């Protein structure tokens, strides 16, 4: 049996995979009968060896390959020209994989997992007739809100429409994070309906919001606000290295968003290419991109690298290094404005 699972919603992919695993037999022997392979590295011989091994005290075994389809994604457009140059009896690598995958033993359940594969992907075209192909895109809009409502109900709780809207906007289509937040909210509400106030108090995206607030304060050169936000995050348990990582990540997102905006790209495309699952994160990133010039962003990134080096070499402890960084960024922003 052959499955192809495509999409960025790896939570739903994982849940679907759980259902497939139930076909393999007793849970006691499930781990022994489940093999994961790296699709970017696996060879035909390795695949054959794994797929043709007999299941251990079960009827079937599961072989999961992640990234095999994307390995051949770039070949689709040039495949026709390349095929015309080869010998008749010579198979391309993607065709060799397709031939074997289409003829795996009945005792093997083969599962290919990838974020995406285009219509011209040669391997997908070669196996799709024998595969159950399922798509798992990130949920957005009404579909995401419906999922949240259903998940809250499944956890034994209830939630108001405004709270659903806020939760969906803050967390976005990352269903792993959303599932965790729903569980926390249901426990926090203790039988009553979850409201907007509960979401604001409980949802872990509040930490990310504070990082945005710190970046906003730096843009406005408000040293006191930026420093207070930093101390609040540290008091809540955020490590200096984590905050430095989050700041660096946000600066990279700002740079990429600014470049795409300058090219006239639309917001949905920017969101997809940046890999942002939250509409709120997209809005804040675009707002902040408008507050920085490219020269200013280069300077900020240089200071972030210097801070990282100062922490790693022991020049300053993490908290002091972050405080110095915030002060310097605010000062240079004020001087440059």
- Residue entry with tokens 């962003």: 297
Q: What is the pLDDT of residue 25?
A: 62
Residues in the chain predicted with pLDDT less than 50, given as ranges, are 76-90
Give the DSSP H or E segment for 267.
helix 267-274
Please tell me the number of Cα atoms within 13 Å of 12 on its side-chain side. 19
Backbone torsions φ then ψ of 293, nearest 5 degrees: -85, 165
* Architecture of the domain made up of 141-202: Orthogonal Bundle (1.10)
Q: What is the pLDDT of residue 210?
A: 73
Sign of CA dihedral 289, 292, 293, 297: negative
Judge whether 33 and 25 are in contact, CB under 8 Å. Answer: yes
Q: What is the pLDDT of residue 335?
A: 63
Q: What is the pLDDT of residue 152?
A: 97
Task: Select from 3.40.640.10, 3.65.10.10, 1.20.272.10, 3.40.50.920 the CATH code of 205-336.
Answer: 1.20.272.10
CATH superfamily of 2-135: P-loop containing nucleotide triphosphate hydrolases (3.40.50.300)
Give the DSSP H or E segment for 199.
helix 196-202
Residue ranges per domain, the chain? 2-135, 141-202, 205-336
Sign of CA dihedral 212, 249, 236, 334: negative
Q: What is the pLDDT of residue 89?
A: 37
Q: What is the pLDDT of residue 27?
A: 67
Judge whether 151 and 179 are in contact, CB under 8 Å. Answer: yes
Q: What is the pLDDT of residue 334?
A: 67
């Amino acid at each position: 049996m052959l499955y192809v699972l495509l999409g960025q919603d790896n939570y739903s992919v994982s849940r679907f995979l759980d259902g497939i695993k139930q076909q393999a037999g007793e849970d006691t022997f499930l781990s022994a009968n489940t093999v994961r392979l790296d699709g970017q590295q696996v060879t035909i011989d390795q695949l054959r060896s794994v797929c043709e091994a007999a299941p251990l005290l079960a009827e079937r075994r599961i072989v999961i390959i992640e990234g095999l389809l994307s390995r051949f994604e770039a070949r689709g457009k040039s495949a026709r020209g390349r095929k015309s140059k080869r010998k008749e009896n010579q198979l391309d690598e993607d065709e060799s994989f397709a031939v074997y995958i289409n003829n795996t033993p009945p005792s093997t359940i083969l599962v290919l997992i990838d974020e995406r594969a285009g219509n011209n992907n040669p391997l997908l075209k070669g196996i799709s007739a024998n595969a159950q192909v399922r798509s798992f895109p990130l949920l957005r809009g009404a579909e995401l809100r419906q999922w949240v409502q259903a998940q809250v109900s499944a956890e034994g709780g209830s939630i108001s429409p405004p709270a659903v809207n806020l939760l969906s906007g803050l967390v976005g289509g990352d269903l792993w994070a959303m599932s965790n937040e729903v569980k926390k909210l249901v426990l926090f509400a203790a039988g009553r309906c979850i409201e907007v106030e509960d979401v604001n108090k409980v949802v872990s995206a509040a930490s990310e919001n504070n990082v945005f607030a710190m970046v906003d304060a730096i843009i406005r050169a408000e040293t006191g606000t930026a420093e207070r936000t930093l101390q609040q995050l540290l008091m809540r348990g955020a490590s200096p290295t984590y905050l430095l990582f989050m700041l660096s990540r946000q600066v990279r997102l700002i740079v990429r968003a600014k470049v795409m905006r300058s090219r006239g790209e639309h917001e949905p495309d920017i969101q997809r290419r940046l890999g942002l699952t939250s509409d709120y994160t997209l809005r804040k990133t675009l707002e902040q991109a408008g507050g920085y010039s490219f020269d200013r962003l280069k300077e900020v990134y240089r200071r972030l690298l210097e801070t990282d080096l100062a922490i790693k070499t022991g020049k300053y402890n993490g908290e002091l290094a972050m405080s110095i960084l915030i002060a310097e960024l605010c000062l240079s922003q004020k001087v440059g404005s």
